[in-house]
Structure 1
């Protein structure tokens, strides 16, 4: 499969955003300055992502909306709202990148908004990735010159998905993400004795869990749409 220049840029942008997202979740471990610079870079890449996928915006009011398309659109809009909330609250609290703006506002409100948008953004971006995972797998298969994945390959992929999802469930409970998603607490706990790589692996597993759930949800919605 020959990838066009635009497609290659899209893949690189999405890959870098995914890596940066994981780093952002470890903000207490990487430091505030790095967190702000990475967050700003991620927002720029997010804008670039939407520019590169401008066709999605132009087609929002065109065509029929199936269950799958509704799900993809809702996730996309909510993800955009989360990113805007992240950037606005981040600017209000900035002590490094945007400190020169001297924006006055409720730091308490900004902190709450930032935490809420951070964890929902993480969840939504993972779901967004999962809803497009079939396309990603298809591209990977064609790049390898395969028409279809072998039975052994399917078994290994499902085994890996099950293992990652199980680890993701463990990490979700361990880090108590539900408390942050639903504002049961306004302060995020970090175990500073935990190695950074272990922390990142646990968040990567949680991302894998949500990707897996969204991937199979996408397959279900596609099948339901085909029956109509």
Structure 2
């Protein structure tokens, strides 16, 4: 269980690093490349820790959760590969010998992949959220109760509402569609707001994925389908 907690900690650190990397205009280029390198190291560790999963994926009975989980893993592999290749082509500090001059299209592709990776990771976390919450409860000795359940639901609703607002404020939909925009976050005004907005977007997709899959699982029960 301790190893699993370490894995979860690394996963959340990877999400934090992606958001950190999105704050490129706040960081200097070297910091951005160092955070990006650390992100790829976490991804490698994540795959090392989960190597048993790959060996048993063909043996498992597929349901909605496992199908979505598998799809996110494939998308993450594609997205991280695009980010890795474009990182080498754009590097100015750590790997300047692999960089291309100019490379505006490569830079746009790198940013495009970064936003999609953040979204897909959020969906991936949503498929595993029940496991995450079980680990959190066992770690801190929290007992399930109706009061805590309603507090969690209210908090989740608040995160979704904030996430919807942040999705619009940060222009996240445009970024996912590779729409060129000059809007940038004013870090001189508030740095914390940038990170909280992106954290709420991640939380929104985690919650929507978790509850969406829970609804699908409930509706697919024979007793529900038969109207019992």
Shift of 1:188: 5.9
Mapping of 1:143-222 within 5 angstroms? 143-146=139-142, 149-185=144-180, 189-222=184-217
Gap runs ≥5 in structure 2 = none
- The answer for the alignment partner of 1:122 in structure 2 is 118
Q: Tell me whether 1:37 sits opposite 2:3 in the alignment.
A: no
- The answer for the alignment partner of 2:73 in structure 1 is 76
Shift of 1:112: 2.1
Distance in 2 between the 1:188 and 1:21 partners?
19
- Is the 8 Å Cα contact of residues 180 and 188 (structure 1) preserved in structure 2? no
Shift of 1:152: 0.8
- The answer for the alignment partner of 2:127 in structure 1 is 131
Shift of 1:144: 3.7
- The answer for the alignment partner of 1:12 in structure 2 is 9
Gap runs ≥5 in structure 1 = none
Secondary structure, in 3 states, of the residue corresponding to 1:37? helix
Q: Greater CA deviation, 168-177 or 13-22? A: 13-22
**Residues 50-106 of structure 1: CA deviation (Å, up to 9, x unaligned):** 11001121123223222221111001110121111111111100111111x334477
Distance in 1 between the 2:158 and 2:202 partners?
13
Shift of 1:46: 0.4
- Is the 8 Å Cα contact of residues 91 and 98 (structure 1) preserved in structure 2? yes
Pick closer, same or farther for the CA change 1:29–1:103 going to 2, 3 Å.
closer
Distance in 2 between the 1:95 and 1:104 partners?
9
TM-score (norm 1): 0.89
- Is the 8 Å Cα contact of residues 18 and 114 (structure 2) preserved in structure 1? no
Shift of 1:13: 1.3
Secondary structure, in 3 states, of the residue corresponding to 2:37? helix
Pick closer, same or farther for the CA change 1:188–1:111 going to 2, 3 Å.
farther
TM-score (norm 2): 0.89
Pick closer, same or farther for the CA change 1:174–1:94 going to 2, 3 Å.
same
Distance in 2 between the 1:134 and 1:10 partners?
15
- Is the 8 Å Cα contact of residues 67 and 225 (structure 1) preserved in structure 2? no
Secondary structure, in 3 states, of the residue corresponding to 1:29? coil
Distance in 1 between the 2:28 and 2:82 partners?
21
Distance in 2 between the 1:8 and 1:188 partners?
38
Q: How many positions carry a matched residue from both structures?
A: 223
Shift of 1:161: 0.9
Q: Which has the higher contact order (CA 8 A, sep 6+)?
A: 1
Distance in 2 between the 1:105 and 1:75 partners?
33
